[in-house]
Amino acid sequence: MAIECRNHTYAHITHLKELGKEFVHELEQFFVNYHQLTGNVYRVLDVKGPRAARQCIRNGMRAVRSG
């Protein structure tokens, strides 16, 4: 999960668990429905916390550098 650091609404959030299961589920549904409107199929495979998010960012940065 990534949160823009200047977003005061969610600035205090440090872990996905702090959002609550219902909010996370609604967020998942948003992405599923958004892609469905464009004719694409989108499935949420997993929801993970900040450690996994940092690792994804690192992997993406490495991929861009090795390009």
**Cα 61 from chain centroid (whole Å):** 17
As given in the structure block, the two tokens for residue 19 are 């959002």
What's the CA gap between 16 and 36, in Å, rounded? 25
Per-residue pLDDT tens over the stretch 8-67: 787 788 888 899 999 999 999 999 999 999 999 999 999 998 899 899 999 999 999 997
- Per domain, the residue ranges of the chain are 16-66
Q: What is the pTM of this model?
A: 0.64
Residue 32: enclosing H or E segment and its boundaries? Answer: helix 21-37
Torsion of CA 53, 57, 59, 62, to 10 degrees: -170
- From 42, 4, 44, 10, select the one nearest 25 (Cα to Cα): 44
